[in-house]
Amino acid sequence: MDGFTTRAIRAASRAPRVDQRPTSVPIYQVVTFSAADADELGAVTTGATEGYVYARMANPTVDALAATVAEIHGAEAGYAVASGMAAIHVAVGSLVRAGDRIVATRNLYGTTRSLLTRVLGRAGVETTFVDPADLDAVEAALAAAPTRVLYLETISNPTIAVADLPALAALGHRHGAAVVVDNTFASPALCRPIELGADLVVESATKYLSGHSDVLAGVVAGSAERIAAVRALQVDTGATLAPFSAFLVLRGIPTLGLRMERHAATAARLAALLGTAPEVSRVLYPMLSSHPDHAVARRLLPNGGGMLAVELAGGAPAARAFVDALRIPERTASLGSIHTIVVHPPSTTHRQLTPAELAAAGIAPGLLRISVGLEDPDDLLADVAQALAAARTAA
């Protein structure tokens, strides 16, 4: 008979037999998977045979999340990674090499801009920024030199510009560029870029997909061929998603449609309130007729979603006073949560940008980005009204 420790290790590692189908995806909190023999181990490791050997390469719970995201996006395949920025990195990184060129919307999340200009820039990849609303300017940028990637955001962070994805995807493909779209602000409940012509779509699953501000994750979806290249890069760079994190995102996805309806309904009421406030210079919400991309939004989005931006007339001091006076929203970063979250992009999400870069991206000193949560709408609107009074005093 084997010794005690040998028996203890083998007994504690033996998975139970389960004949009934679980109604939730189990958490495979496993790093290594055992093969039947050396040949099978080699075949699975090299990809000649489907299966699992090591969690950095694949894990059943993480694969279930990837397949779910692919299905709800209408894509052939998906891949899940450790964060939204990891998803952007592996998506774009799988398409470019030194000497290549990217054309990207100038209204980008600050860390995405840093990835393109500083990280990929150091690797010899050039990025040109354009206004996606100016289709002639986008085409001119694409035609100026060979372009590998056209990078877009469905709804821009933080200025809430809505990209005309079908038109932009057609331009990108006409000039031989792969089209990558960050869909985080919309979620697949509002927009599915693959169906509109994108080659790869990325989402920070930390946001609306999970919806509860309790997990960090990112996903990429697209054709099987492109996702295979994404997977190969991730295996070598190690942005591995933990199984429990994948489980938490899977837990959130079934309520995504219902949550987005509530987010959007409250956001529309809040945008209407802010639009009548004398302390406010402008409100950016896609369903307002005053929004520059209102016509595009009505064509591509079933509703305006839960994100809006507001520019306070009193500038940064008014913005600071407004945030400090709020009672309900959490003073934190991120978005797409059950909590309403209000941030001042120049000092938080876009802190990497210089004043000139902020101005070029349309980010004014008094701009606030609001991610509308699931609180009772009347409570939230009353809180915002009293915070506007504080902003007026500060200004």
CA 225/CA 215 separation, integer angstroms: 28
Half-sphere exposure of 1 (CA within 13 A, CB side): 5
Which band of pLDDT confidence, cut at 50, 70 and 90, is reported for residue 353?
low
Handedness of CA 287, 292, 295, 297 (dihedral sign): negative
Active-site choice (28, 79, 109, 208): 109
241-296 confidence digits (pLDDT tens)? 999 999 999 999 999 999 999 999 999 999 999 999 999 999 999 999 999 999 99
Q: Which residues pair with 102 in a beta bridge?
A: 127, 149
Output DSSP code: residue 257. H
Output DSSP code: residue 9. H
Q: What are phi and psi of 296, to 5 degrees?
A: -65, -45
User: Has residue 336 got a pLDDT over 90?
Assistant: yes
CA 263/CA 257 separation, integer angstroms: 10
For the chain, which residues make up each domain, given as ranges? 58-255, 256-394
Per CATH, domain 58-255 is 3.40.640.10? yes
9-35 confidence digits (pLDDT tens)? 999 999 999 999 999 999 999 999 999
Among residues 102, 80, 83, which one has the least CA distance to residue 93?
Answer: 102
Burial of 333 (0-12, 13-18, 19+ CB in 10 A): exposed
Cβ partners under 8 Å of residue 361, min gap 6: 106, 107, 108, 159, 350, 353
Question: What is the dotted CATH code of the domain comprising 256-394?
Answer: 3.90.1150.10
Check if 109 is active-site.
Answer: yes
Active-site choice (52, 54, 56, 251): 56
The mean pLDDT value for 102-107 works out to 95
Looking at residue 296, its pLDDT comes to 98
Check if 148 is active-site.
Answer: no
CA 75/CA 68 separation, integer angstroms: 10
Output DSSP code: residue 12. H
Active-site choice (148, 207, 226, 259): 207
Cβ partners under 8 Å of residue 94, min gap 6: 226, 229, 230, 232, 233
Active-site choice (79, 151, 164, 182): 182
Looking at residue 301, its pLDDT comes to 97
283-333 confidence digits (pLDDT tens)? 999 999 999 999 999 999 999 999 999 999 999 999 999 999 999 998 898
Check if 28 is active-site.
Answer: no
Check if 207 is active-site.
Answer: yes
> Is the bond leading into 158 cis (omega within 30 degrees of zero)?
yes
- Helix boundaries (H) for 58-154: 60-73, 84-93, 110-114, 120-122, 135-144
User: Has residue 347 got a pLDDT over 80?
Assistant: no
C-alpha 274: how far from chain center: 26
The mean pLDDT value for 21-50 works out to 94
User: Has residue 357 got a pLDDT over 90?
Assistant: no
Is residue 220 within 8 Å of 204, Cβ to Cβ?
Answer: no
pTM: 0.94
